[in-house]
Amino acid sequence: MSCSRMETKILAYVDGRLKDSERLDVEKHLASCAACKVRATEFRAVNSLLDELPQIEPSPAFDLRVHALVAAEPVKRAWWSSLMLSPRVAFAAAMLLLATAWIGTRGPEAPVIAGPDAAVVENADYDVISNFAPLSDLSQASDDDDDSDTSSGNGVGTSATPTM
Amino acid sequence: MARSDVQLMLDVKAGDETSFALLLQRYRRPLVNFLYRMVRNREQAEDLAQEVFLRVYRAREEYVPSAKFTTWLFRIATNLALNSVRDTRYQRLEVSLDAPVTVDAEDGEEKVLDVAEKHPNIEQHLVDETRVQMIKHAIDKLPEKQRAAVLLHKYQELDYGEISKILQCSESALKSLLFRAYESLRVELAPLVARQAR
């Protein structure tokens, strides 16, 4: 092995990162080359000097600051999430949909018209409004219920103020 | 059994915030130390480390485990550090030569060196401080890319393949880069190296 080839191997040799076959090649060269042997020894010395540098500890607030930065990040939403509704709106939409479906299943109903032979129920317990006062007697009618009965011909008044 | 980095990152991608906290816990110290040695300023190193974690979090949706997590993490950190060093290079040139001599205390904070400071063994303390300062100074003098290569190789113990991906160069280029860096270091630290090599 040449000295120039040693350049790419020597640090890995010092670190113990070479394969066995490569390590043996390097050791063979070092045995015959004083310059490379000195270099290997000094690289090893540099390596242990670098070990002497003290480590520093991150400040106590470091984690808090990172978490605060992360918490301040805008939440990324998928494209479809913009279509999602709030629960209240979703509930209202569901109710509307149900109501529409219910109406749709009932279909149009024909109005019921009584035939000419429909029996008239006599003496039914109808609550007939018959005590309306005539429009002209509005001011008096409220005072005299009995009189208003006799004055209305068909028994059904047109007044907007029934006196029951 | 501890989950791997990749698994934690996939869990973060799935929306698990506690996995992000675990990654933060696992890598905050190596990252802050790496960045501190790159930019030589603790506050700036922490700011950059925070930015690294933020970028990791932002990229969670697109994360695909195609490489080792550490390769990706330190690639972000290295790019940020190199940009920061280049940005502040000219500011550093303006630092007054009259500025007081400072040392880095054990907790990493810079403080003015006070010789009269009470210490059980002031002489030994000063010798140790001087030694550490020399090593730091030697690393600081390396060109940025060499410095990054040494720090990743020595302190993060990443393999050549990973470091070459982080620095975006071939493995043989990386080996040359590291060789030149170690050559500079052994020259710069010659007095210490000679003592160490005995």
Residues B87-108 as b/e (b if ≥16 CB within 10 A, e otherwise) read eeeeeeeeeeeeeeeebbeeeb
Do residue B20 and residue A7 have CB atoms under 8 angstroms apart? no
Q: Among B9, B79, B77, which residue's Cα sits nearest to residue B49?
A: B77
Mean pLDDT is lowest, of A58-67, B72-81, B102-111, B154-163, for: B102-111
More confident residue, A136 or A10: A10
Average pLDDT across chain B, whole number: 86
Residue A77: the pLDDT is 60
Confidence label for B99 from pLDDT (cuts 50, 70 and 90): low
Residue A163: the pLDDT is 37
Taking contacts as CB-CB distances below 8 angstroms, the residues of chain A near B15 are none
Do residue B193 and residue A48 have CB atoms under 8 angstroms apart? no
CB B193 within 8 A of CB A49: yes
Q: Among B33, B32, B30, which residue's Cα sits nearest to residue B69?
A: B30
Residue B127: the pLDDT is 80
Written as six digits, the tokens of B36 are: 């501190």
Distance from CA of B143 to the nearest CA of A (A): 17
Helix (H) or strand (E) holding B50: helix B42-58
Decide if A72 touches B, using CB distance below 8 A. Answer: no
Count of beta carbons in the 10 Å neighbourhood of residue A67: 15
Cα first-last separation, chain A: 125
Distance from CA of B197 to the nearest CA of A (A): 6
> DSSP string covering B59-74, please?
TGGG---SS-HHHHHH
Residue of B nearest to A4 (CA): B176
CB B119 within 8 A of CB B125: yes
Task: Give this complex's ipTM.
Answer: 0.80
Confidence label for A3 from pLDDT (cuts 50, 70 and 90): confident
Residue A148: the pLDDT is 44
Burial class (CB in 10 A: 0-12, 13-18, 19+), B183: middle
Calpha distance A79→A149 (Å, rounded): 74
pLDDT in tens, B39-97: 989 999 999 999 999 999 999 998 988 889 999 999 999 999 999 988 876 665 555 44
> DSSP string covering A53-83, please?
SPP-PPPTTHHHHHHHHHHTSPPP--GGGGG
pLDDT cut 70: percent of chain B above it: 83
pLDDT in tens, B111-141: 544 545 556 688 788 888 889 999 999 999 9
Calpha distance A98→A100 (Å, rounded): 5
Nearest CB to A46 within list B104, B131, B182:
B182
Distance from CA of A102 to the nearest CA of B (A): 41
State pTM to two decimals. 0.68
**Which DSSP letter does residue B40 get?**
S
Average pLDDT across chain A, whole number: 75
Count of beta carbons in the 10 Å neighbourhood of residue B58: 13
Written as six digits, the tokens of A158 are: 């047109």
CB B38 within 8 A of CB B147: yes
Residue A153: the pLDDT is 41
- Whether A158 shows a pLDDT value over 70: the answer reads no
Written as six digits, the tokens of A84 are: 């999602």
